[in-house]
A and B are shown apart, each in its own frame.
Chain A
């Protein structure tokens, strides 16, 4: 174990190396490129015994990963933004063929206009593809989630996507604890996985699903991702025992006695925590919830912390044009509906295409959440920092 300073991208690359992956197929795209650059270095230098497949596109990268994962090889890829969008149709196949692919998605805005900076529109556009989705708040979390992802993916036979904020996490150096490689191997041993593409089995894979079968095959994904909740909790507990760090499906800050809560995802939670600290000093009972596991959505964890909250704000960093609400807002409101609690929820949008969300922005959000709590009436979505 050692303490080192690494960028989010390199932390993921080191985690993949320690996981002793067998196959990497990837195509470079900003801001993800340093992950696969570092991994190609590891392979070229003989530090990682893996097949590194150079492909001509993200569509091909994920297709190669599917074939690899079906042979039972531990498989990794990484992408961002347009790359993830280009994988779109293959994402469905990776989950419905029940692969165990692990992918780092370094969150970046989608065109147009062309923008390489951070928001959450790429992964939010892929909510319904049947992948497990993690969102991390720090470089350490990026490393840890990658290690956990392999174990979960291989247990439940569903692919896992780890989302880390472009530049804000991917290119920022943070100090993290890098565990010994032996400890990672103990957690995820390099064992042969279920090989379905073996000539010994003579299975047909990638078939036509006529109306008599398609529905049942798709329902299997619903069943698998619902059952994965148990595996995710168990893997997290085992991880805690070995490495001394655990993460819930959500992380909460000052929520024990909070009246007013804000819900965020990703690295922006760190800025929000600073604001919570300063507002607490002024006597405001504010708290923060950060969603770590977005798919499957941690409904029950959220209902528990909402027990005594008077009002909630939800910060979305992606848009659902023409929808009733933006992606995270819709999930939260649906969660509340199922819990039969009536708490006003205020929708916010901010930080699109790399626009900073400042401490003052968060102060403004908490003020509005309090106003909504006192009046009991929410306003239409507020677009933080938008020039009117």
Chain B
């Protein structure tokens, strides 16, 4: 890590958007697992995910970016066809 001499003064963050480098995957207890056979591609999980961790692919299918998913389970609750299951991380 950077020393006090190397860090910008006044605790300024001088690289915009650098939170992308901050891996929060270890916060997660439950991981959302998407069953692509049940998914109707309605996009509700993509809308509701507070972290933007649901990724919409070019073919309009969806997947989870596990680097940013904190395992809150909102996607599971928003899915009308129950295509998302929350599974405990240590079971995986």
Contact across chains for B9 and A98 when beta carbons are under 8 A apart: yes
**Residue among B2, B3, B4, B12 making CB contact with A196, cutoff 8 Å:** B12
Distance in angstroms between the alpha carbons of A333 and B45 in the assembled complex: 67
Interface flag for B10 (CB, 8 Å) = yes
Interface flag for A189 (CB, 8 Å) = no
Contact across chains for B10 and A97 when beta carbons are under 8 A apart: yes
Distance in angstroms between the alpha carbons of A224 and B12 in the assembled complex: 16
**Residue among B2, B3, B12 making CB contact with A204, cutoff 8 Å:** B12
**Residue among B1, B9, B10, B14 making CB contact with A201, cutoff 8 Å:** B14
Interface size on B, residues (CB 8 A): 12
Contact across chains for B1 and A207 when beta carbons are under 8 A apart: no
- List the A side residues contacting B10 at CB < 8 Å: 96-98, 157, 196, 205, 217
- List the A side residues contacting B11 at CB < 8 Å: 96-97, 207, 209, 213, 217
Distance in angstroms between the alpha carbons of A216 and B7 in the assembled complex: 8
- List the A side residues contacting B7 at CB < 8 Å: 213, 216-217, 220
Interface flag for B91 (CB, 8 Å) = no
Q: How large is the interface on A (under 10, 10 to 19, 20 to 34, 35 or more residues)?
A: 20 to 34
Closest to A222 in B: B4
Main secondary structure of the interface of B (DSSP, over half): loop
- List the A side residues contacting B16 at CB < 8 Å: 202-204
Which of chain A's residues 205-254 have a Cβ closer than 8 Å to chain B? 205, 207, 209, 212-213, 216-217, 219-220, 223-224
Distance in angstroms between the alpha carbons of A204 and B15 in the assembled complex: 8
Q: Smallest distance from the beta carbon of B31 to chain A beta carbons, Å?
A: 25
Instruction: Please give 17 more A-B residue pairs, beta carbons under 8 A apart, in addition to A203-B13, A207-B12, A224-B9.
Output: A97-B11, A157-B9, A196-B12, A201-B14, A203-B16, A204-B12, A204-B13, A205-B10, A205-B12, A205-B13, A212-B1, A216-B7, A217-B4, A217-B11, A219-B4, A220-B7, A223-B4
Q: Smallest distance from the beta carbon of A175 to chain B beta carbons, Å?
A: 41
- List the A side residues contacting B9 at CB < 8 Å: 98, 157, 220, 224
Which of chain B's residues 1-57 have a Cβ closer than 8 Å to chain A? 1-4, 7, 9-14, 16
Given A98-B9, A157-B9, check contact A220 B4 (CB 8 Å). yes
- List the B side residues contacting A202 at CB < 8 Å: 16
Distance in angstroms between the alpha carbons of A216 and B10 in the assembled complex: 10
Distance in angstroms between the alpha carbons of A196 and B7 in the assembled complex: 15
Distance in angstroms between the alpha carbons of A272 and B3 in the assembled complex: 48
Closest to A220 in B: B4
